[in-house]
Structure 1
Amino acid sequence: MAVQLAVVLLALALALALRPWRLLAGGRLLTPLLASLVVLPWLWALPSLHAMPLQLQWSGACLVLLMLGWPLAIPVLCVVAVIATAIAGAGWVEAVAMAAWVGVLPATLGLAIGAAVRRVLGTHPFVYVLGRAFAGSVLSLFAASVLRQWSGEALPGVGPNLSLVAHWLTAWADAFVTGMLAAIFVAFRPQWLATWSDALSLRR
């Protein structure tokens, strides 16, 4: 609990120090921000609302990262964790764990992987969609799940090997949706992606 709380508070402090509210100037990110606050809490609370053999949580943190940018995504994901906890009727311990493992850590790993992909492969639209949105999401989500399992928070009633397989498949499903929506937004709503730049990615 202490480590998770420290991770969340450190990430939140760094994000707020970057003054993320400046990204809301002009209102172009208001729609993806509100959509994140409305949709994600229900997806995060779903395992607590239904009895499922595998208590897997959909993250969506990498999509929020692409839409809002890391400084704004972190506080939004923390708010999502609080709302999801209220919906599920859980306590603050669960809220902190959810914020750390499902939100902050995947988004931060996604930021690091995305920066590495951009540095190595450039800013081509296919690199953005397939590299950052899809492959980067798979790696960051699975890595966050593995770290969570290694910390002692394994799936209840499931062996460690089967848990890794379940997390791997869930990461692919989450990344598929992230990549698909990123491609749609690049084509039709690029203003909803704070991490996308026409000037950089479409230059000839």
Structure 2
Amino acid sequence: MNFTAPALFASVFPESFQWVGWLGLVFLAWRWLMSGDWRQLADPQRLNLFLGATVVVLALWQIRAGVKPGLSFHLYGMAALTLMFGFWRATCAGVLILFANAVFGRGSWEALGVDALLTAALPAAVSWGIFRLLDRFLPNHFFIYVLGNGFFGAALSVVAVGLATTALMALGGAYTLDYLLTHYTPYALMISWGEAFTTGMMVTVMAVYRPDWVESFDDARYIQNK
């Protein structure tokens, strides 16, 4: 296994995929600017927390293993970032991580757009969607928040990345579907267990000791009078 393989290489995707990735990334950047969510980073305390969390996840992404170019396994941490900052800032943090990887030669500039959609926006969207569903349909309870979002939501976010990567690689002709289903997909899905455990523990500790770090958590709703 190659422990220095970047998440995606430009060589494994056709140029059309790269253009779609960059267009998607530009659209997300425009939507983020329009949403006004970026104003949250004007608060120095929030900015320091955001940058610190981004650096921690950047370090986490360096611990990876790869079987082939474009096929790597690592913990993502995107579910934790999403619960801490919401979808938009979590996706921004993921893009910053990919940018840093590209700067230091551990990622591809050409595939950065596809990589951002696949490994930053997608898991953040899944995590945020799970949070919104649980918040709407289930009681506000600490264990529902931790188990549903920290464990279940984190696991599903990684499952989504694994399945989407399999589909895109097969569709783009990078690898055959049989090869992916044998040598990549099962192991990519297994990573979801590690992601669930890691995120669940992190969210639990932060919710108990530093609830102000987790914007999606409100101790008055999830703990008090329960």
TM bin, normalised by shorter chain, reads 0.7 to 0.9
Cα contact 1:109–1:140 (8 A) shared by 2 = yes
**CA separation of 1:132 and 1:94: change in aligned 2, threshold 3 A:** same
What is the number of equivalent residue pairs in this alignment? Answer: 202
Deviation for aligned residue 1:9: 2.5
Question: 1:119 deviation in Å?
Answer: 1.5
Q: Secondary structure at the match of 1:71?
A: helix
CA contact (8 A) 1:70 1:111 kept: yes
Identical counterparts, % of pairs: 24
**Residue range with higher mean Cα deviation, 128-137 or 143-152:** 143-152
Counterpart in the other structure of 2:128: 111
SS at match of 2:110: helix
**1:79 aligns to 2:100 (yes or no):** no
Gap runs ≥5 in structure 1: none
Give RMSD over aligned pairs: 2.6
- Confirm whether residue 136 of structure 1 aligns to residue 153 of structure 2: yes
Per-residue CA shift, 1:95-149, capped at 9, x if unaligned? 2232121111100111112111222212211111000111011112201220121
Distance 2:161 2:108 in 1: 22
For structure 2, list consecutive stretches of 5 or more residues without a partner in the other structure: 1-17
Question: Aligned in 2, Cα 1:121/1:95: closer, same or farther, shift over 3 Å?
Answer: same
1:185 aligned residue (194, 197, 206): 206
Q: Deviations over 1:74-113 (max 9, x none)?
A: 2222111101222234431232232121111100111112
Q: SS of the counterpart of 2:184?
A: helix
- Kept after mapping to 1: 8 A contact 2:83/2:214: yes
Query: 1: CA distance between counterparts of 2:218 and 2:162?
Result: 30
Aligned to 1:14, which of 31, 38, 54? 31
Q: Distance in 2 between matches of 1:63 and 1:166?
A: 21
* Aligned mates of 2:221, 2:184 — CA distance in 1: 40
- Does the residue aligned with 1:133 lie in a helix, a strand or coil? helix
Q: Distance in 1 between matches of 2:166 and 2:44?
A: 39
Q: 1:169 to 1:93 in 2, by over 3 A?
A: same
Q: Which residue of 2 aligns with 1:59?
A: 76
Cα offset, 1:173, TM superposition: 0.6
Tell whether the 8 Å contact from 2:82 to 2:128 is kept in structure 1 after alignment.
yes
C-alpha distance in 1, partners of 2:34/2:79? 21
Q: Does the CA contact (< 8 Å) of 1:8 and 1:100 recur in 2? A: yes
Give the letter for the 1:188 counterpart.
Answer: Y
The superposition leaves residues 3-26 of structure 1 with CA deviations (integer Å, 9 ceiling, x where unpaired) of 322332232222222222333465
CA–CA distance in structure 1, aligned partners of residues 48 and 109 of structure 2: 28
Q: 1:155 to 1:129 in 2, by over 3 A?
A: farther
- The amino acid across from 1:9 in the alignment is V
**Do residues 194 (structure 1) and 215 (structure 2) align?**
yes
Tell me: CA distance 1:144–1:91, structure 2 relative to 1, closer, same or farther (3 Å): closer
- Aligned with 1:88: secondary structure? coil
Segment drifting more, 23-32 vs 174-183: 23-32
Question: With structure 1 as the length reference, what TM-score do the two structures score?
Answer: 0.85
> Is this contact kept in 2: 1:45–1:85, CA < 8 A?
no
Larger radius of gyration: 2
Q: Check the 8 A contact 1:101/1:145 in 2, yes or no.
A: no
